[in-house]
Structure 1
Amino acid sequence: MTIDDIIDFAGGLDGVLTLRPGPGDGSPEISWGDTFFYHSPDGTVPTAAQPFATIVTKDYPGEPSSRLDRPGAFRVNVAAGKEEFVRRTGRAPQDPAAAAEDHGVADTVMPHPVYGSAGWLAVVNPGTRTDDALRELLRHAHGLVRARHERRRDR
């Protein structure tokens, strides 16, 4: 899957706002080139919500390397939730650095290098092995955030 394939898929889910920070939009320079997916039926950036998925094109300071300094390398991060994390990895969320020795392994669903303990999963350079799984994870994460949004709206 390419970055554009993922953006098209996730951005096509109901009520998704896709943000692609870049020069001149007021976003921090470190985020330029990355993509953030929010559930936002009204199309505005949620003030208190986190994205349900992201695409990052570089390693961020302070996190274990996913070797995103390679040409064309990127990582998709998905807020899968703890139950889905267990289903995909066979273990409870824990210290992500201890859960995966090499966060740069391509086309493999693995704990997120920083937020794995919160139920986030990641895929570096998704390909044929993870195409279906990544689509399922994105749908699942979107469903979780949409349900949370609806519960808050109904209060």
Structure 2
Amino acid sequence: MTIDEIIDFMQDLDGVLAIRPGPDDGSPEISWGDTFFYYSPDGVAPRATQPFATIVTKNYPGDERSRLDRPDTFRVNIAAGKEAFVNRTGHAPREPAIDDDPGVTDAVMAHPVYGSVGWLAVVNPGPRTDTATCELLRNAYHLARSRYERRTG
């Protein structure tokens, strides 16, 4: 899957807002080129809500283990929820992860930084993980939508 294919998939889901920071929007330079997905049926960026999925195209400070500095490498990060996290990793989010190499491509694994709170990650989703990545993104979308609906009554 390409970054554009993932963005297109996400934008086909009702109420998804994809934010792609760039040089002219006042966002921090480190976020340029990345994409952040929110459930926002009014199309306005939520102020106090975290994205339910992201695509990152580079290493962030303290998050270098996926080696996103390799050419044409990106990582999809997904707020999977506890059930999906356990189903994919075989352990609860707060339990220590098996010694996964977070730089392996086309594999679903605990996020190298946010795995302890139920996030999963896929570096360069491909033939082995494209279906799973879409399922996980759709599930994260439903979780975000449910949280929104609970908050707004």
TM tier relative to shorter chain = over 0.9
Residues 1-155 of structure 1 mapped to structure 2, 5 A cutoff: 1-94=1-94, 98-154=97-153
CA distance in 2, matches of 1:72, 1:110: 20
Shift of 1:100: 4.0
CA distance in 2, matches of 1:104, 1:47: 31
Deviations 1:33-92 (A, max 9, x none): 000000000000001100000000001101242111111000000000111100111111
Amino acid at match of 2:62: G
CA distance in 2, matches of 1:74, 1:4: 12
Change (3 A) 1:116 1:54: same
Shift of 1:11: 1.6
CA distance in 1, matches of 2:107, 2:24: 35
In 2, are the aligned partners of 1:99 and 1:111 still within 8 Å (CA)? no
Identity fraction in percent? 71
Shift of 1:153: 1.0
Structure 2 unaligned blocks of 5 or more: none
Give runs of ≥4 in structure 1 deviating > 3 Å.
98-101
Tell me how many residue pairs correspond in the alignment: 153
CA distance in 1, matches of 2:94, 2:74: 23
TM-score normalised by length of structure 2: 0.96
Amino acid at match of 1:84: A
Name the Cα RMSD after superposition: 1.2
Structure 1 unaligned blocks of 5 or more: none
